[in-house]
Structure 1
Amino acid sequence: MDVDAFWDLIERSGRESATRQERLAWLEGELSRRSAEEIVGFKAWWESVRSRLCTWDLYAVYCSALGWGSLDGFEYFANWIVSLGREPYEQVAECPDTAIELPQLLRLFEVRHRQIAEKKPPVWSVEEEPKFELLDYVTFGPYESATGLDAGSLGEAVHARGVRRRFPLVGADFGGEAWDLDDPAEMARRLPRVARHLGIP
């Protein structure tokens, strides 16, 4: 499975389903019809593309959108970014500051602003919540059916291809230069679009 085939499955799963549960079922069904080699290939591309998102700058975007952050939550946020499709993903991976231009993320910032103004917690529907934890597991069942092995050996097969898994995070093991996310001047310098949206001069 090459990268184009990987993105084709990710994007078709979104077009062919109306809910996240349906999307997961669609992907599992498609992968169940593939060989073990293709399933490992899908998982390898999944880990590769997701790892590109594991940066300090995108973590800052995530924390800004929600008003708080956790390492697990950031992982599920990265899953969600991948689920949006290749073009939005590439835009964000290349320049996290442009994430604010995505309508899906802009909506999160709007909800967050309203939450601050009304002193209420942000409320998102299940379908627009900025996390997609279960997308990480869609290969498990198809792999076990195709090989008779448990899902743990899938990770070993991916590692054997030379793919480095950045998630789950152990400590703040982000890519790029570390910086103080609470420093407004650093936020304005590194993420000027996001800073302007947050009202940081």
Structure 2
Amino acid sequence: MDIDSFWDLIEECRRQVQGPDERLAWLRGELSRRSLTEVVQFQVRLDEVTHEAFTWDLWAAADRIFGGWCTDDGFCYFGLWMVSLGRDVFSQAVANPDALADAPEVQGLLGRPREVWNDDWPGWESLDYVAMEAYGILTGVDDECGEAFYDALDAEQRNSGDSSEPLGKRWDVRCEDEASLRLPRLSAMFPLRSLTY
């Protein structure tokens, strides 16, 4: 599965079903009708694109949307959620994180308390497990830890050498002057309230 086939599958999933659970079920079903190699390659492509989004500027955008803080795990799930927005939105956000302000999924969060975002929450952890689940369906092996899948994934990735640190320079989204320069639209859309840590 090359990168174009990966994004075609993501786009088809967006067209077919709504909601994170329904999309996962659709993807799991679609992947479980493919070869083991394609299932592993789906995960390889997913890891590659989420690594593209692993930048301090996108972390700041997530921080802003989340009200001034976003955990390490929360940012990983945010990157997976960005994949669900489709190739165009994803690519635009990687190039300019403030472009997320144009995404209907981000605009739909405006004016709503975070406590009621529910299925609209900008994070999608489960996407990171769908290929492993499809692999289990294809092999018929109940492998809760996914050892066979991750062995196949390691063999396919061939030591990608990805950094464990985000790309770019870290900055504090809570500094309003800098945030308004770097993320003007997201800063206006998601003003920070008094924060307690």
Give the TM-score, by structure 1 length: 0.81
Q: Which residue of 2 aligns with 1:133?
A: 125
Q: Which residue of 2 aligns with 1:118?
A: none
Between the two proteins, the alignment pairs up a number of residues equal to 186
Q: Which residue of 2 aligns with 1:124?
A: 117
Identical aligned residues as a percent:
39
Contact 2:60 2:172 (8 Å CA) reproduced: no
Question: SS state of the match for residue 110, structure 1?
Answer: coil
Counterpart of 2:124 in structure 1: which amino acid?
F
Q: Which residue of 2 aligns with 1:35?
A: 35
Contact 1:56 1:176 (8 Å CA) reproduced: yes
Q: 1:142 offset after TM fit, Å?
A: 2.0
In structure 2, C-alpha distance between the alignment counterparts of 1:39 and 1:106, rounded to whole Å: 33
Question: SS state of the match for residue 177, structure 1?
Answer: coil
Q: 1:64 offset after TM fit, Å?
A: 1.0
Q: Which residue of 2 aligns with 1:10?
A: 10
Question: SS state of the match for residue 108, structure 1?
Answer: coil
Going from structure 1 to structure 2, the CA distance change for 1:14 and 1:64 (only over 3 Å counts) comes to: same
The unaligned stretches of length 5 or more in structure 2 are 193-197
Going from structure 1 to structure 2, the CA distance change for 1:165 and 1:32 (only over 3 Å counts) comes to: farther
Q: Which residue of 2 aligns with 1:157?
A: 152
Going from structure 1 to structure 2, the CA distance change for 1:18 and 1:192 (only over 3 Å counts) comes to: closer
Contact 2:43 2:153 (8 Å CA) reproduced: yes
Contact 2:64 2:187 (8 Å CA) reproduced: no
Q: Which residue of 1 aligns with 2:195?
A: none
- What is the RMSD computed on CA atoms of the aligned residues? 2.4
Matched, 1:189 2:181: yes
Counterpart of 2:169 in structure 1: which amino acid?
E
Q: 1:139 offset after TM fit, Å?
A: 0.6
Going from structure 1 to structure 2, the CA distance change for 1:196 and 1:178 (only over 3 Å counts) comes to: same
In structure 2, C-alpha distance between the alignment counterparts of 1:164 and 1:23, rounded to whole Å: 30
In structure 2, C-alpha distance between the alignment counterparts of 1:165 and 1:24, rounded to whole Å: 26
Counterpart of 1:155 in structure 2: which amino acid?
Y
Contact 2:98 2:185 (8 Å CA) reproduced: yes
Contact 2:60 2:171 (8 Å CA) reproduced: no
Going from structure 1 to structure 2, the CA distance change for 1:29 and 1:199 (only over 3 Å counts) comes to: closer
Going from structure 1 to structure 2, the CA distance change for 1:181 and 1:18 (only over 3 Å counts) comes to: closer
1:14-63 C-alpha deviation (Å, 9 max, x unpaired): 22223322211111111111111111111100000011111111111111
Q: 1:129 offset after TM fit, Å?
A: 1.7
Q: 1:146 offset after TM fit, Å?
A: 3.8
Q: Which residue of 2 aligns with 1:83?
A: 84
Going from structure 1 to structure 2, the CA distance change for 1:159 and 1:176 (only over 3 Å counts) comes to: farther
Contact 1:24 1:135 (8 Å CA) reproduced: yes
Give the TM-score, by structure 2 length: 0.82
In structure 1, C-alpha distance between the alignment counterparts of 2:139 and 2:9, rounded to whole Å: 21
In structure 1, C-alpha distance between the alignment counterparts of 2:121 and 2:27, rounded to whole Å: 20
For residues 168-187 of structure 1, the aligned pairs below 5 Å read 173-187=165-179
Going from structure 1 to structure 2, the CA distance change for 1:195 and 1:21 (only over 3 Å counts) comes to: closer
Contact 2:50 2:80 (8 Å CA) reproduced: yes
Q: 1:153 offset after TM fit, Å?
A: 4.1
Counterpart of 1:140 in structure 2: which amino acid?
M
